[in-house]
Structure 1
Amino acid sequence: MTRQLDIVFLGLSLSSSWGNGHATTFRGLLKGLHQLGHRVTFLERDVPWYANHRDLRDPDFCALRYYETVQELQRDYARCLQQADVVVIGSFVPEGRAVIDTVASLCKGQLCFYDIDTPVTLAKLSADDCDYLSWRQIPYFDIYFSFAGGPMLADLTQTFGARRAEPLYCSVDPERHHRTADPIGWDLGYLGTYSADRQATLNALLLEPARRMPDRRFVVAGSQYPSDIDWPDNVERIEHLPPADHAAFYSRQRYTLNVTRSSMIAAGWSPSVRLFEAAACGTPIISDRWPGLDSFFPASTIHTARMADEVVAILSRESARTRLAMADRARELVLASHTGAARAREFITALTQKGAVVVDLDIGSAA
């Protein structure tokens, strides 16, 4: 049995899911840690674009606190950081380099990095264009937790100097993501913030099928799409969909589309949280293809496609029985292995293996 840990996270955002996927990931992990009995504090930079779109103001699974500057972080939260058993800094934290230096000077427990954007981060580091992490800081961390697994873990240690790299993939909260009673409203849908490197795939796998199938209904939910996109008349647009509405959104789709960023495709082993969310809701998935996908979703649990013809064929020919059987297999897999509780256990196990903070209650002393 492990003792209760004081864990502090500094991440991009917990309070707002607007325009970022970090909030959903942190929420699942932190809720899982809370369920395991650990005390969690999340420190978030108070910025207007998230302050104006907060959809989680008072979480019941952690203490959520804000700071406006690095100086304020050091002044107001020094004791919190010094007393923590574990401090975890996430990717894309504003002024991340200065935050890391400040926290490293205060942290007396384990210091970890949680990279929710690993392929992007390593590309930025290689180009000397990363403002939230510097190459020299990577050895500061006892564990470098990575959203991407596979060969990238070896790259982190062998090329970038990480002491230890561990995968910590995204996850789903089954209490929030489950089948609802909402009737099917769309044949194919997509949920995701606009990204230039995803748009060509979205065009090929959703917009083009929509043009070819004018009697079918499609939907795209997400913010920041350019005004010059030519949306077919049978594609409904939802500007922003808060996490509380995700389950109903997935449940209303006959199929949902997963589109992966180019850097994640190149890296492989980088599942999107949308995959796990949709599967937990029992919605059949059509995904682009990338290395490692079958290690999360075997062929019997998911469709993959590269071109519009394949999507049109799936929508036109697959029986409801086959479609739902595939979705059921995906749902069982995700609920068994990809929940926030599962990720929390993996996180604590990684710390246990490090042997610095997790102790046996019967012994009562540090290992």
Structure 2
Amino acid sequence: MHIAFFGSSLVSAYWNGAATYYRGMLSALARRGHTITFYEPDAFDRQKHRDMDPPDWARVVVWPATQEGCEKALEDAKGADLVVKASGVGVFDAFLEQNVLRLKAPGTRVVLWDVDAPATLENIHTSPDDVLGPLVPDFDMVLTYGGGDPVVHAYTRLGAKACVPIYNALDPTTHFPVEPDPAFAADLAFLGNRLPDREARVEEFFLKAAELLPEQRFLMGGSGWDDKPMPANVRNLGHVYTHQHNAFNCSPKAVLNITRDSMAKTGFSPPTRVFEACGAGACLVTDAWEGIDQFLEPGREVLVAHDGADVARQLASLSEKESAAIGKAGLKRVLAEHTYDHRAAEVEALLEGSDRAAPVAEEVAS
């Protein structure tokens, strides 16, 4: 199958948290014999901050961030067996949502792949400029980055023919245990870009914990935090390139995941970094969100915290031996159940016939 995929960026993770999801999913589909063409705009300086060359398993088409460039990319995608419009391309999203549907043909299906379903659904229901909501029934299928039943319910009510969550996972060829790097030594590390619906939770779960444990070392990675006031025991690295992520995850005693507001409210949306950290054998501490126990066992494969004081309490009592044991158990679990090869098999089964996905939507609607 030839898959034409319109997304934010495959070759750059700069201000692009979906990059590792795209890479993991699409490389796994390529290993199953599918041909991938990825269309990404030249926008937000991502091309200046590439952290990988175009891979041998995908053709990458970078289009100028103009309507003409977008139209040429759409023209190039004609004739693909499957056309995917991902949410959050960043430019010309509404134009793409309207025009990818014109590529539908007897041999071409068009799928909406929502990598930020809570935000997309909120925009559909609240923005007067939304164009996607009325178009949902026209897509052959809706796939989502996660969200569980609440997201499936919401898309079903909008008329989706089928809505199926395809959760984040681990790509063990890119995220794996490495030797610790002193540059990333810390008691607790957090990696995430500064976003409006994440910042308050970072203040609570990370910065408050740092204030409560002034004798411990905290490490912050991600773009946008340069002017953020931080306790003296927090070291801010700025952008951390993906080739550094394994060392970033392996070097601290523990790694913290902080879910964005919308994802935490919706639940059942494990961020990519959950699996990246576990794949590196890190001891993961995550803020509490509904559905975590479907992916990792709290207390044995992951530590779950309900606020900053809880993070501080668990970190203060965490020994190096306990950290290693949790990291080892988390790694074993994700390798057994949560790799992108597992997810690609799910996607392939759905794409072999969308009728397999239809019962999911029908069951939710009943």
- State whether TM-score is above 0.5: yes
Alpha-carbon distance in structure 2 between the residues aligned to 1:244 and 1:158: 39
* Residue 101 of structure 1 pairs with residue 110 of structure 2: no
Alpha-carbon distance in structure 2 between the residues aligned to 1:307 and 1:32: 36
Aligned to 1:301, the other structure's residue is in SS state coil
Which residue does the alignment assign to 2:264? 265
Cα 1:15–1:297 change in 2 (3 A) is: same
Cα 1:75–1:274 change in 2 (3 A) is: closer
* Structure 1 residue 147, shift from structure 2 partner: 1.4
Aligned to 1:104, the other structure's residue is in SS state helix
Percent of pairs identical after alignment?
30
Cα 1:129–1:92 change in 2 (3 A) is: farther
Aligned to 1:24, the other structure's residue is in SS state helix
Amino acid at match of 1:104: L
Aligned to 2:178, the other structure's residue is in SS state coil
Cα 1:216–1:9 change in 2 (3 A) is: same
CA contact (8 A) 1:148 1:267 kept: no
Which residue does the alignment assign to 1:111? 110
Amino acid at match of 1:91: S
* Residue 83 of structure 1 pairs with residue 79 of structure 2: yes
Alpha-carbon distance in structure 1 between the residues aligned to 2:311 and 2:100: 48
* Structure 1 residue 64, shift from structure 2 partner: 0.1
Alpha-carbon distance in structure 1 between the residues aligned to 2:122 and 2:249: 33
Alpha-carbon distance in structure 2 between the residues aligned to 1:18 and 1:303: 28
Aligned to 1:89, the other structure's residue is in SS state strand
Which residue does the alignment assign to 1:140? 138
Which residue does the alignment assign to 2:69? 72
2:178 to 159, 177, 180: 180
Which residue does the alignment assign to 1:365? none
**Aligned residues: CA RMSD:** 1.9
Cα 1:14–1:130 change in 2 (3 A) is: farther
* Residue 20 of structure 1 pairs with residue 19 of structure 2: no
* Structure 1 residue 35, shift from structure 2 partner: 1.0
Alpha-carbon distance in structure 1 between the residues aligned to 2:317 and 2:51: 39
Alpha-carbon distance in structure 2 between the residues aligned to 1:89 and 1:216: 44
Alpha-carbon distance in structure 2 between the residues aligned to 1:81 and 1:355: 25
Amino acid at match of 2:77: L
Alpha-carbon distance in structure 1 between the residues aligned to 2:68 and 2:145: 29
Which residue does the alignment assign to 1:362? none
Aligned to 1:52, the other structure's residue is in SS state helix
* Structure 1 residue 282, shift from structure 2 partner: 0.7
CA contact (8 A) 2:39 2:73 kept: no
Alpha-carbon distance in structure 2 between the residues aligned to 1:76 and 1:159: 31
Which residue does the alignment assign to 1:214? 214
Cα 1:208–1:342 change in 2 (3 A) is: same
CA contact (8 A) 1:84 1:107 kept: no
Alpha-carbon distance in structure 1 between the residues aligned to 2:103 and 2:199: 43
1:60 to 53, 56, 61: 56
Which residue does the alignment assign to 1:280? 279
CA contact (8 A) 2:201 2:260 kept: no
**Which shifted more, 105-114 or 115-124?**
105-114
Q: Structure 2: which 5+ runs fail to align?
A: 357-366
* Structure 1 residue 355, shift from structure 2 partner: 6.4
Residue by residue over 1:154-186, the C-alpha shift from the partner in whole angstroms, topping out at 9 and shown as x without a partner, is: 323432111100111122221211111125611
Aligned to 1:135, the other structure's residue is in SS state helix
* Structure 1 residue 306, shift from structure 2 partner: 2.0
Aligned to 1:256, the other structure's residue is in SS state strand
Alpha-carbon distance in structure 2 between the residues aligned to 1:158 and 1:143: 11
* Structure 1 residue 130, shift from structure 2 partner: 6.1
Amino acid at match of 2:148: G
* Structure 1 residue 308, shift from structure 2 partner: 3.0
Amino acid at match of 1:24: T
- TM normalised by structure 2 equals 0.90
Cα 1:76–1:214 change in 2 (3 A) is: closer
- TM normalised by structure 1 equals 0.90
